Chain A
């Protein structure tokens, strides 16, 4: 298990005092985190800890009440989601959001298409768009779905659909991966495959991993942030988190 990168290297994505209020309820309170390339940074916490809200603010689906977000040196706090995605912020969803009626390949190709110019060129066929097809095939390869390329996405197994989620995220050629519970509902073998994929991906990407599977988290993460009631109570290497008293009481329970 590697030590987390020191703050000397600038994180590719960072939030500064990010806060989100819904009327009287503060879902996320002053969260300051950094995500570096080469690192799987897991965010864990009980339900209602604010993890989903955090990811939604980072990806751009939800505006922040206060605080800022910086990506690759730019202040992206006010950027709409599509703009962030095109800049390199990719995300996968907790609930599978693939396009069930399209083929597996088309699912990825469509995502890859977002970055291409000249969307108005209607005389060009999408099926022959080599650029997006190449990116899509590559993404499917990495996710291990190449054999299923022509299948209708709705016919994939649950694990396959989760893989497709990741593949679609990869097809947008992101530099940061915001992964919302990618292991949800997966069996042991599928989990292994996904962890291997994440291990490979982190070499060239910054990875934010929101997960409930504690074993997987402690295996794969280089840094773990623990959230309780919208606030960060600890953010450190996995070994340190395991030993952290506050975390133990708040989250991990007895016996760790």
Chain B
């Protein structure tokens, strides 16, 4: 079966969904889709290039904050420049962080990416730049309009839904292209044995930095969408809890697979909803951190290859 058939069917199904969904569920699907974009962006770093970043939320947050701050209170901004601005800002910070952190490896890299994300967190949390711990509101959602014709108004539920879906499909397609390209194959080689790649003549630092920046820009895209959906941003978007969560998503789904990233985002969001639901878990819902934490430990211990690995095992031992 050709590899793109399942994703295409999934996309078509998603496109048809709004016809049958309640507003709450539709909202949930949009949220999951945005987190899927976020997870996919990290998959490029961790799964393809083998760079474990614990600070990826910084780019989500920067994308979100720039979206809100650049809109200001001057009415709806045009998505045509707002989206590139949000992604561009995230990419800029990614260049800075990447250039410095890629001078380190392994555990150092993990710690440094976390630290730089914390730095961004402080800027938005403590300084006048960010509006403090309460965050800021997005007063008008972006639009695409020419003169009087409004082509896209992200304040409309349907418009937002299909924009998010388009972003998810686009991100997935882009990453699939990258993975099959020479650039993507080089990243894979760097992940397996960077020294060997250097011996062959690859300037590996440049490749890693490029991957880092692309991942950052895509996280910025997710940030833009999140800001638009929620109508507000707050510094917790850049917290290390957020960075930990997205890392969890991709390990939940299975590292090294685009589908895994999406599945992981779905699974994690639903799991969190479940654990926080008083309706289903009663008083235990208040202690969702405990249940979630224990679940993660059990999961990583028992299923290190994620849900995708589980499927492979069940269907008769496909090689990892």
Contacts and interface: CB of A to CB of B under 8 A. Distances in A.
A123 B181 contact: yes
A124 interface: yes
* B interface SS class: helix
B178 interface: yes
A127 B185 CA distance: 9
Contacts of A120: 183, 210
A114 interface: yes
A93 B188 CA distance: 20
B270 interface: no
B182 A121 contact: yes
Nearest to B175: A122
B199 interface: yes
A27 interface: no
Interface string A83-126: 10110001101000111111000100011011110011111111
Contacts of A90: 199
B201 A86 contact: yes
B185 A82 contact: no
Contacts of A99: 189, 192-193, 196
Given A97-B193, A111-B200, A114-B202, A121 B186 contact: no
Contacts of A82: 198, 200-204
Contacts of A85: 198-201
Contact of A125 (B181, B197, B198): B181
A126 B184 contact: yes
Interface string B205-221: 00100100000000000
B184 A122 contact: yes
A10 interface: no
Interface residues of A, number: 38
A240 interface: no
Contacts, number: 90
Contact of A172 (B174, B183, B200, B210): B200
A192 interface: no
Interface in B290-316: none
A163 interface: no
A122 B177 CA distance: 6
Contact of B186 (A102, A113, A171): A113
Nearest to B320: A101
A187 B228 CA distance: 66
B195 interface: yes
Contacts of A116: 182
B180 interface: yes
A115 B201 contact: yes
Nearest to B319: A152
B186 A119 contact: yes
A97 B198 CA distance: 12
A101 B188 CA distance: 10
Contact of A110 (B174, B189, B198): B189
Given A97-B195, A113-B186, A119-B186, A124 B181 contact: yes
Most buried by B among A98, A99, A120: A99
Nearest to A125: B180
Contact of A81 (B181, B183, B188, B199): B199
A99 B193 CA distance: 7
Contacts of A111: 200-201
B27 to A, nearest CB: 34
A59 interface: yes
A120 B201 CA distance: 16
Contact of B195 (A61, A106, A113): A61
17 contacts: A82-B202, A83-B201, A83-B203, A97-B196, A97-B199, A110-B185, A110-B189, A114-B202, A119-B182, A119-B186, A120-B183, A121-B183, A122-B177, A122-B184, A125-B180, A126-B182, A126-B184
Interface of A: 59, 61, 80-83, 85-86, 90-91, 93, 97-102, 106, 110-111, 113-116, 119-127, 129, 132, 168, 171-172
Given A114-B197, A120-B183, A122-B181, 15 more contacts: A82-B202, A90-B199, A97-B195, A99-B189, A99-B193, A102-B188, A102-B192, A110-B197, A116-B182, A119-B182, A119-B186, A119-B207, A122-B183, A129-B182, A172-B200
Interface of B: 174, 177-178, 180-186, 188-189, 192-193, 195-204, 207, 210
